[in-house]
C-alpha cells in the first residue's frame, strides 16, 4: 500500500502480543519490528545493500551525533540522511535525549532552554532545545521523529523521576508545536517514570493528552534487570493507546524482545547485533555462540546453512574463529551481518506466530534460550 501519510494498522492480537503495520511514504514496516542502529549514518561494519537483503524495513539514526558530525548543513545538501547514506527505506531518529543521560558529564539541563552540551568531539558548546531537536530531525528528513526527553539514570528516587516527567512533558509540548502539521511523518512521545507504575501512568496520560502518532517507553535498558523491565511493561502498556505503535527504546536481546512483545510492544532498536558481531558473538537458532572459543577451531559447519546473503553459509565456524583470533575486520563484518539477518528472521517468526495464534508456544520455547 503506497501512502503519503504516516499511519498504523493493528491487524490482530494473540493475547497481548500485537501484529500490525506502520505505513510511511517510504514504505511499510511490519510490526513487531527491529531497527538496526545506524547512530552516525551507518550500520557499523555492514554495507547498506546487505542490510536491505536482511528484509530490514527501518533503521535508526541519532540526532545528537549527526548534529555534531557531519552537521546539518551537510545533510541539507543531500536533502537528508537517506540520500547521504544511500538508504531508501524509513529512518527513525532518536532525539538526543539518551545522550543527555549517557554523556551527562558534558552537559546540564535547563527546563526552559534545553540541554546545554559540550561536544565530546571538540568541547564546543551546543544547546539542544526541544525546537532544535525537531529542526535537526527535519533536516535529517526522518520518517519517525522522537520528542526530546530527559532520561534519568537508573534510580528509585521518585523526586528525580517526577522531575524528569515534568521536564519531558514540557519539552514534548514544545516539540509538538515545532513539528507542526506534517502528516507524512510520525512524531512519537516518550514515557518516563522509572520502575514505578503510578509515575509511568502519569507520564502516559500527560503525553496522550498532548497527542502523538506513537509512544515510546523510555528510561529502560539503563541498568535494571530483565525481570524488572518486563514487570513495568506488563503493568503499564495497558495505559497506552491501542491504535498507536509502541516502541521500547534501546532493547535488546532476543529474549528481551520476546518478553516485551508478550506485553504489547511493537518496535525495538539495539546495537547488540553489531556490537556482539565485533566481539565474535553470534546469535543463531542454536542459541548464542562465542566464536572466539577454541571449540570452534576445527568446526567445519556454517553459522546458518540456510542463509544466502553474501553467501554467509559458505563461511565455516573454523574460519570465523581464525579471523577473530587474527584480528581481521572481516570477522566482525560477517558476524554483524549474520546477527542482523538472524534478528530479522526472529522478528518474522514472532509475527508469524502471532498471526497463527501460536505466540505463547513460541514464547515459552525461546524466552530463556538466549540468556
Active site residues: 94, 269
Sequence-distant (≥ 6) Cβ neighbours of residue 99 within 8 angstroms: 62, 64, 65, 117
Beta partners for 316? Answer: 302
The DSSP element (H or E) to which 231 belongs, if any, is helix 226-236
**Angstrom distance (rounded) from CA 176 to CA 280:** 42
**Angstrom distance (rounded) from CA 220 to CA 294:** 36
Q: Spell out the alpha helix ranges (H) of 126-225.
A: 130-140, 158-179, 197-210
| Inter-residue contact 44 to 278 (CB < 8 Å) | yes
**Angstrom distance (rounded) from CA 357 to CA 81:** 38
The string of DSSP letters for 235-283 reads: HHGGGS-TTS-EEETT--SHHHHHHHHTTT--EEEESHHHHHHHTTEEE
Sequence-distant (≥ 6) Cβ neighbours of residue 106 within 8 angstroms: 117, 118, 119, 120
Beta partners for 114? Answer: 110
Longest dimension (CA), the chain: 61
Beta partners for 7? Answer: 23
Amino acid at each position: 500500500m503506497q501512502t503519503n501519510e504516516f499511519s498504523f494498522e493493528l491487524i490482530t492480537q494473540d493475547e497481548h502480543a500485537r501484529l500490525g503495520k506502520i505505513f510511511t511514504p517510504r514504505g511499510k514496516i511490519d510490526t513487531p519490528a527491529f531497527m538496526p542502529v545506524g547512530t552516525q549514518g551507518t550500520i557499523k561494519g555492514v554495507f547498506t545493500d546487505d542490510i536491505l537483503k536482511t528484509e530490514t524495513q527501518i533503521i535508526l539514526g541519532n540526532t545528537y551525533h549527526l548534529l555534531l558530525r557531519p552537521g546539518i548543513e551537510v545533510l541539507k545538501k543531500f536533502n537528508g540522511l537517506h540520500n547521504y547514506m544511500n538508504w531508501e527505506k524509513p529512518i527513525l531518529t532518536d532525539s538526543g535525549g539518551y545522550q543527555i543521560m549517557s554523556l551527562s558529564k558534558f552537559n546540564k539541563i535547563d527546563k526552559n532552554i534545553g540541554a546545554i552540551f559540550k561536544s565530546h568531539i571538540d568541547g564546543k558548546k551546543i544547546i539542544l532545545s526541544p525546537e532544535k531537536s525537531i529542526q535537526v530531525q527535519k533536516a535529517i528528513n526522518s520518517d519517525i521523529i522522537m520528542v526530546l526527553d530527559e532520561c534519568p539514570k537508573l534510580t528509585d528516587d521518585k523526586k528525580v523521576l517526577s522531575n524528569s516527567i515534568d521536564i519531558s512533558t514540557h519539552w514534548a509540548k514544545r516539540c509538538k508545536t515545532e513539528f507542526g502539521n506534517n502528516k507524512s511523518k510520525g512524531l512519537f512521545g516518550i514515557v518516563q517514570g522509572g520502575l514505578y507504575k503510578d509515575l509511568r501512568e502519569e507520564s502516559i496520560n500527560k503525553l496522550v493528552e498532548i497527542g502523538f502518532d506513537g509512544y515510546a517507553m523510555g528510561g529502560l535498558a539503563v541498568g535494571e534487570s530483565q525481570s524488572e523491565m518486563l514487570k513495568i511493561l506488563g503493568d503499564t502498556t495497558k495505559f497506552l493507546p491501542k491504535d498507536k505503535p509502541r516502541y521500547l527504546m534501546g532493547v535488546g536481546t532476543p529474549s528481551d524482545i520476546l518478553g516485551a512483545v508478550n506485553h504489547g510492544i511493537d518496535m525495538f532498536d539495539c546495537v547488540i547485533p553489531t556490537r556482539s558481531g565485533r566481539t565474535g558473538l553470534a546469535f543463531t537458532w542454536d542459541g548464542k555462540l562465542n566464536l572466539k572459543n577454541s571449540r570452534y577451531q576445527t568446526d567445519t559447519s556454517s553459522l546458518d546453512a540456510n542463509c544466502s546473503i553474501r553467501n554467509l553459509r559458505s563461511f565455516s565456524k573454523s574460519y570465523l574463529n581464525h579471523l577473530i583470533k587474527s584480528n581481521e575486520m572481516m570477522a566482525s563484518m560477517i558476524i554483524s551481518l549474520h546477527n542482523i539477518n538472524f534478528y530479522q528472521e526472529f522478528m518474522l517468526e514472532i509475527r508469524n506466530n502471532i498471526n497463527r495464534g501460536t505466540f505463547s508456544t513460541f514464547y515459552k520455547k525461546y524466552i530463556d534460550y538466549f540468556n
